[in-house]
Chains A and B, each alone.
Chain A
Amino acid sequence: MIQGVITRISGPVVQAKDIEGIKIRDLVVVGDLGLLGEVIEVKGNEVSIQVYEETDGLTVGQPVKSGGMPFLVELGPGLLGTTYDGIQRPLEVIRDQTGNFIQRGATASPLVREKKWGFNATAKKGDSVSFGDIIGWVQESPTIKHYIMVPQGVSGKIAKINSGDYTIDQPVGSLEDDTELKMSQKWPIRRPRPSKRKIPTNIPLVSGQRIFDVFFPLPKGGNAIIPGPFGSGKTVMQQSLAKWSDADVVVYVGCGERGNEMTEVLTEFPHLEDPRTGAPLMNRTVLVANTSNMPVAARETSIYTGITLAEYYRDMGYDVAMMADSTSRWAEALREISGRLEEMPGEEGYPPYLASRIAEFYERSGRVICLGGKIPGSDKSENERIGSVTVIGAVSPPGGDFSEPVTQNSLRIAGAFWGLDARLAYSRHFPAINWLTSYSLYLDTLKDWYNAELTEEFMQMRTELMEILQREDELNKIVQLVGKDSLSDPDKLLLDIARTVRDDFLRQSAFHEIEAYCPPKKSYYMMKAILLFYKNCQSRLGKIPYDQILTQPGWEKISSMRYFPNDKFEAPCQELLKEMAAGGELAAVAA
Chain B
Amino acid sequence: MAAKELYAKAHRKIKDIKGPLVFLEPIADVKFGERVVIVDSNGREKGGQVLDVGEKAIVVQVFEGSDGLDRKGTSVFFTGDIVKIGLSEDMLGRVFDGSGAPRDGLGEVYPEVERPIGGSPLNPVCRQQPKEWIETGVTSIDMLFTLIKGQKLPIWGGAGLPLNAVTMQIAKQVIRQSGEELVVIFAGMGITSREYNYFYKEFQDSGALASSVLFLNLADDATIERILTPRLALTTAEYFAYDKGRDVLVILTDMLNYANALREISSAREEIPGRRGYPGYLYTDLSTIYERAGIIKGQKGSVTQVPICTMPNDDITHPVIDLTGYITEGQILLSRSLDRAGFFPPIDVLPSLSRLMNLGIGREKTREDHRQIADQLYAFYAQGKELEKLTAIIGSEGLGNVEKKIVEFTQRFEDEFLGQGDQSRTIEESLGLSWDLVKDIPRSELRRLEDKHIEKYMPKRAGAAK
Interface, chain A (partner B; CB < 8 A): 7-11, 15, 54-61, 83, 91-92, 94-95, 98-104, 229-231, 254, 256, 258-264, 266-267, 289, 291-296, 329, 332, 335-336, 339, 342, 345, 348-349, 396, 398-401, 422, 425-429, 479-486, 503-504, 511, 550, 555-556, 559, 563
Q: A339-B271, A399-B316, A399-B322 are in contact. Are A483 and B398 (CB under 8 A)?
A: yes
- Excluding A54-B118, A55-B32, A260-B129, 18 further A-B contacts by CB distance (< 8 Å) are A54-B33, A59-B29, A99-B126, A100-B126, A100-B299, A101-B119, A101-B120, A101-B122, A231-B331, A231-B351, A259-B122, A260-B329, A261-B355, A292-B327, A339-B281, A345-B272, A422-B351, A484-B398
Asked if A57 meets B127 with Cβ closer than 8 Å, knowing A7-B55, A103-B120, A349-B280, the reply is no
User: Among A10, A95, A292, which residue has its beta carbon within 8 angstroms of that of B284?
Assistant: A292
A348 touches B274 (CB 8 A): yes
Contact A258 B291 (CB under 8 A): yes
Q: How far is the CA of A479 from the CA of B386 in the complex (A)?
A: 11
How many Å from the CB of A86 to the closest CB on chain B? Answer: 11
Do A294 and B31 form a contact, CB below 8 Å, given A7-B54, A258-B329, A264-B129?
no
Is A296 a contact partner of B284 (Cβ separation < 8 A)?
yes
Q: Which residues of B contact A (CB under 8 A)?
A: 26, 28-34, 51-56, 82, 118-130, 150-151, 242, 271-275, 279-281, 283-284, 287-288, 290-292, 294, 296-297, 299, 316-317, 319, 322-323, 325-327, 329-331, 350-351, 353, 355-356, 358-359, 371, 375, 378-379, 382-383, 389-390, 393-394, 398-400, 403, 443-444, 447-448, 450
- Do the beta carbons of B53 and A8 come within 8 Å of each other? yes
Most chain B CB neighbours (cut-off 10 Å) among A59, A264, A483, A511:
A483
Let me know if A100 and B123 touch, CB within 8 A: yes
A266 in contact with B288 given A59-B32, A230-B325, A427-B382 (CB within 8 Å)? no
7 pairs of residues in contact across A and B, judged by CB atoms under 8 Å: A10-B54, A100-B299, A230-B322, A260-B127, A349-B272, A483-B390, A485-B400
Give every chain B residue within 8 A of A231 (Cβ-Cβ): 325, 330-331, 351, 353, 355
For A339, the chain B residues whose CB sits under 8 A away are 271-272, 279-281
Closest to B381 in A: A427
Distance A91 CA – B329 CA, assembled complex (angstroms): 23
Complex interface: chain B residues within 8 A of A267 (CB): 129
- Decide: B291 and A9 in contact? CB cutoff 8 A: no
The 5 closest A-B pairs by CB, nearest first: A399-B317, A483-B398, A427-B382, A56-B33, A292-B287
Q: Determine if B28 and A61 form an interchain contact, defined as CB atoms under 8 angstroms apart.
A: yes
Q: Which of A101, A332, A511 contacts B358 (CB 8 A)?
A: A511
Distance, CA A394 to CA B399, complexed state (A): 40
Which of B120, B274, B290 interacts with A349 by CB under 8 Å?
B274
Q: How far is the CA of A76 from the CA of B292 in the complex (A)?
A: 34
Q: Contact check, A8 vs B54: say whether CB atoms are below 8 A apart.
A: yes
Question: What is the number of contacts between chain A and chain B, taking CB atoms within 8 Å?
Answer: 228
Contact flag A102-B125 (CB < 8 Å), given A258-B329, A428-B375: no
Nearest A residue (CB) for B28: A61
Centre residue among B288, B382, B450 by max chain A CB count within 10 A: B382
**Given the complex, which residues of A lie within 8 Å of B371, measured CB to CB?**
511
- Which residues on the A side are within 8 Å of B272 (C-beta)? 339, 342, 345, 349
CA–CA, A230 and B330, complex, Å: 8
Q: Which residues of chain A have C-beta atoms less than 8 A from B290's C-beta?
A: 293
CA A258 to CA B130, docked complex, whole Å = 13
- Nearest B residue to A428, CB-CB: B378
Does A263 contact B127, Cβ atoms closer than 8 Å?
yes
What's the least CB distance linking A256 to chain B, in Å?
Answer: 8
> In the complex, are the beta carbons of A58 and B31 less than 8 A apart?
yes
Q: How far is the CB of B222 from chain A (nearest CB, A)?
A: 22
Contact call A483/B383, Cβ cutoff below 8 A: no
Which of B287, B356, B403 meets A260, CB within 8 Å?
A: B356
- Chain B residue, CB-CB nearest to A61: B28
Cβ of A60 and Cβ of B447 under 8 Å apart? no
A57→B120 contact, CB < 8 A: no
Task: Report A-chain residues with C-beta under 8 Å of the C-beta of B128.
Answer: 263
Contacts of B378 in A (CB 8 A): 426-428
CB atoms of B382 and A91 under 8 A apart: no
A474–B71 Cα distance when bound, in Å, is 70
Give Cα A9 to B299, complex, Å.
37
Task: Give Cα distance in the complex from A427 to B410, angstroms.
Answer: 13
Cβ-defined contact, A8 with B55, below 8 A: yes
Say whether A57 contacts B124, CB under 8 Å.
Answer: no
Q: Is there an interface contact between A266 and B151, defined as CB atoms closer than 8 Å?
A: no
Instruction: Give the chain B neighbours of A425 by CB distance below 8 A.
Output: 353
Q: Are B398 and A293 in contact (CB under 8 A)?
A: no
> In the complex, what residue of chain A is closest to B350 when comparing beta carbons?
A426
Chain B proximity of A315: nearest CB distance (Å) = 28
**In the complex the two chains form, what is the Cα distance from A428 to B292 in whole Å?**
29
Interface pair B400/A484, CB less than 8 Å apart = yes
Chain A residues closer than 8 Å to B51, beta-carbon distance: 10
Closest to B356 in A: A260
Once the chains are docked, how many angstroms separate the CA of A335 from the CA of B400? 53
- Nearest CB to that of B398 among chain A residues? A483
B124 CB contact (under 8 Å) in A99, A103, A289, A349: A289
**Which chain B positions have C-beta within 8 A of A504?**
447
Q: Are B124 and A400 in contact (CB under 8 A)?
A: no
Closest to B296 in A: A100
Q: Is the CB of A398 within 8 A of B322?
A: yes
Q: Which of B292, B319, B351, B444 contacts A555 (CB 8 A)?
A: B444
Which residue in A9, A295, A335 is a CB contact (below 8 Å) of B54?
Answer: A9
Q: Which of A7, A11, A95, A486 is B126 in contact with, Cβ under 8 Å?
A: A95
User: For the complex, what is the distance from the CA of A261 to the CA of B448, rounded to whole Å?
Assistant: 26
The distance in angstroms between the C-alpha atoms of A262 and B291, with both chains bound, is 12
Known contacts: A56-B118, A60-B55, A231-B331. The answer to whether A396 contacts B274 by CB under 8 A is: no
B48 to chain A, nearest CB (A): 15
- A92 near B125: Cβ-Cβ < 8 Å: yes
**B123 & A102 in contact (Cβ 8 Å cutoff):** yes
Selected from B53, B55, B123, the residue in CB contact (under 8 A) with A95 is B123
Chain B hits for A483, CB < 8 A = 390, 393-394, 398-399
Check if B120 sits within 8 Å of A102, measured CB to CB: yes
CA of A295 to CA of B274, assembled, Å: 19
Question: In the complex, what distance in Å separates the CA atom of A348 from the CA atom of B319?
Answer: 13
Instruction: Pick the residue among B56, B123, B273, B329 that contacts A101 (CB under 8 A).
Output: B123
- Taking a contact as CB atoms under 8 Å apart, the answer to whether B284 and A60 are in contact is no
Closest to A396 in B: B326
Nearest CB of B to A308, in Å: 20
**Bound complex: CA of A555 vs CA of B124, how far in Å?**
47
A336 to chain B, nearest CB (A): 5
* A residues in contact with B150, CB < 8 Å: 260
Q: In the complex, what's the smallest C-beta–C-beta distance from A243 to chain B, in angstroms?
A: 15
Cross-chain contact B281 with A59 (CB below 8 angstroms):
no
Q: Are B317 and A401 in contact (CB under 8 A)?
A: yes
Task: Report yes or no: A485 in contact with B281, Cβ–Cβ below 8 A.
Answer: no
Q: How far is the CB of B262 from chain A (nearest CB, A)?
A: 13
